Amino acid sequence: MTAAELALAGVPVTVLERHPRHPGHSRGFNLNPYSLEVLDRRGIAGRFLAEGPTVPHMMFAGPRLLLDLTAMAAGHRHVLGIAQVRVEELLAEWAAELGVRITRGHEVTGLEQDADGVTVTARTPEGERRIRAGYVAGCDGSRSAVRKLAGIGFPGTPATRYTILADAEPMVEGDLSPGVTTGPGGAVLVIPRPGYVRIVVKDPAPPEERDEPVTAEYFQAALDQTLGRHVPLGPPRWLSRFGDAARLADRFVAGRVVLAGDAAHIHPPAGALGVNVALADAVNLGWKLAATVQGHAPAGLLASYHTERHAAGAAVLRYTQAQALLGGDDERLAPLRELVTELTALAPVNRYLAEAVTGVGTRYAMPPAPGQAADPGGEDHPWLGRLAPDLKLTGPDGAATGLAALLRAGRGVLVDCAGGAFAAEAAGLRGRVDVLSARCVDDPGLAGLLVRPDGHTAWVSTRRDPRPAATLRHALTMWFGSPEGKISACETPCR
């Protein structure tokens, strides 16, 4: 996703992937509403939605408590069931269409940065290769070599609880039903997948060395011990162990190195958020890094990636740790579980939690223009800092369009509903901000709206709470730079 976002902005990108081919198994199985919204704003949500069913709710702190997603402020009020391997394949296809080169069998082992660029060393089947680039994005997972080589700290809490999983041939009918089955040793979660089942059980005796492989015999013994009876496991396709560690990189940007996804944060798998948070990082990072590479980024633009996504990552750690505690088997937390269940039945609480855990509620701070109070008219506009809704708009020629479609090019979008009063402000920013004079069908009171390439609202003016053009000028300069800053090709193409 990061590579595709960069390519969309015209930056040449090479992806180095250590595996010669995809290992085939999927850790995750879902895309949540924020991811679908983001993919919609690139015109590719349909490719993903064609792959699986959608459900209008999601688990919170385990399968007993469901959050209703239908009241959220989002176009996609559902979770899509889709294997992570398919998400990766579809994103790779899109990236390839945009010209991204994916180089497999290249494991990053070294990284040195200097004033002009970064030199990466990769182990390849043909021997060691050195690759020079302007910037490096470490999207290389929880044990990120890039993070370690760049000397970026990864503080947090180590795993205290381990879980093992088996993807195996379907069980014999009646052996174990889908969902949670509780035995004397605890709970077993069975998730039916097309052609196989995923079985998840607490690791009864995690080894000192967590990389020690889980064997079929070990998994069978743990399953039987938990259930208090023998349930034969079909031939496994994939066995794995995962923990509840929670860590957040102390810098998402270190000179010419940036981190995204699990490389930047790990958290308990509660809530099934990891793939989704990684996509949210990528869409926040891509346009900022592209503007930096092309030399027209305003001061502090790349640093804002750290500010915005580090805070979002910290929130994800909180939400997943809270869910892991509530969903665990500590009986002392039973009253708290009951209380949370009662609270979640209240519509505003349900909506707050649904928007918080799916990322739909993510609100980035949009600093006001100098001398302008943050909220002169009272409350900030509810869209400010959040994903702008996919508003229906009518252009000067009467043609109807949606805001999401205007964002497909990955540029900023200024919608002028004030007869041209605002459009002139973006005159020098061609190639960075697309301008549309329009009427907003969904909200006739809208006077003007500036949306960043990641879909988040940077500035909004309404007829009830009009903002002077100077505040728009400030927002344009803050996110898109000055008109003098030129768009140029990457000066240090990968080679």
Ligand X SMILES: Cc1cc2nc3c(=O)[nH]c(=O)nc-3n(C[C@H](O)[C@H](O)[C@H](O)COP(=O)(O)OP(=O)(O)OC[C@H]3O[C@@H](n4cnc5c(N)ncnc54)[C@H](O)[C@@H]3O)c2cc1C
Residue 19 contacts ligand X per CB under 6 A:
yes
Is 138:147 a contact under the CB 8 Å cutoff? yes
In the list 91, 108, 118, 246, the residue contacting ligand X (rule: CB under 6 A) is 108
Give yes or no for a contact between 412 and 433, defined as CB atoms under 8 angstroms apart: yes
Residues 321-380 that bind ligand X (CB under 6 A): none
140 binds ligand X (CB under 6 A): yes
Contact status, residue 385 vs residue 363, Cβ threshold 8 Å: yes
d(CA 12, CA 101): 9
203 binds ligand X (CB under 6 A): no
- Report the nearest approach of ligand X to the CB of residue 297 (Å): 24
Q: State yes or no: residue 107 binds ligand X (CB under 6 A).
A: yes
Shortest distance, CB of residue 337 to ligand X, whole angstroms?
22
Query: What number of chain residues touch ligand X (CB under 6 A)?
Result: 27
Candidates 14, 25, 27, 437; binder of ligand X (CB under 6 A) is 27
Q: Which of 29, 287, 364, 422 binds ligand X (CB under 6 A)?
A: 29
Fill in the DSSP letter of residue 424. G
Q: Are 74 and 33 in contact (CB under 8 A)?
A: yes
- Minimum Å distance from CB 139 to ligand X? 5
What residue type is 214 in one-letter code? V
Residue with Cβ nearer ligand X (142 or 181) = 142
Count of residues in the chain: 495
Closer residue to ligand X (CB): 165 or 166: 165
When asked if residue 261 is in the footprint of ligand X (CB under 6 A), the reply is: yes
Measured distance CA(269)–CA(319) in Å, rounded: 11
Out of 276, 294, 358, 471, name the contact with ligand X by CB under 6 A: 276
In this structure, how many other beta carbons lie within 10 angstroms of the beta carbon of residue 377?
12
Taking the complex as a whole, the smallest distance from the CB of residue 16 to ligand X amounts, in Å, to: 5
Q: Is 141 in the site for ligand X (CB under 6 A)?
A: yes
d(CA 161, CA 149): 28
28 scored as a contact of ligand X (CB under 6 A):
yes
Q: Which stretch binds ligand X (CB under 6 A): 69-77, 126-134, 257-265, 437-445?
A: 257-265
Cβ-based nearer residue to ligand X, 98 or 450: 98
Instruction: In angstroms, give the least distance from the CB of 14 to ligand X.
Output: 12
CA dist 308 and 284 (Å) reads 8
State the helix-helix crossing angle for 301-327 and 274-294, rounded to 10 degrees. Answer: 170
Counting contacts by CB under 6 A, is residue 272 touching ligand X? yes
Q: Could you say whether residue 210 binds ligand X (CB under 6 A)?
A: no
Q: 30 or 350, CB closer to ligand X?
A: 30
Tell me the chain's radius of gyration from C-alpha atoms: 24
Q: How far is the CB of 240 from ligand X (least distance, A)?
A: 6
Q: Pairing mode, if any, of strands 412-416 and 433-437?
A: parallel
Q: Does 129 bind ligand X (CB under 6 A)?
A: no
**Interface mask toward ligand X for 155-194; x: CB under 6 A:** ----------x-----------------------------
Cα 490 from chain centre: 26
What single-letter amino acid sits at 78? H
Sign of CA dihedral 433, 439, 445, 447: positive
Quick count: other Cβ atoms within 10 Å of Cβ 172?
Answer: 10
Residue 138 within binding range of ligand X, rule CB under 6 A: no
Q: Quick check: 262 binds ligand X (CB under 6 A)?
A: yes
Q: Which of 207, 317, 213 has its CA nearest to residue 262?
A: 317
Residue 30 interacts with ligand X (CB under 6 A): yes or no:
yes
Distance CA 374, CA 465 (A): 13
Residue position matching structure tokens 């957040």: 248
Q: Which residues bind ligand X (CB under 6 A)?
A: 16-19, 27-30, 84, 107-108, 139-141, 145, 165, 242, 261-263, 269, 272-276, 278
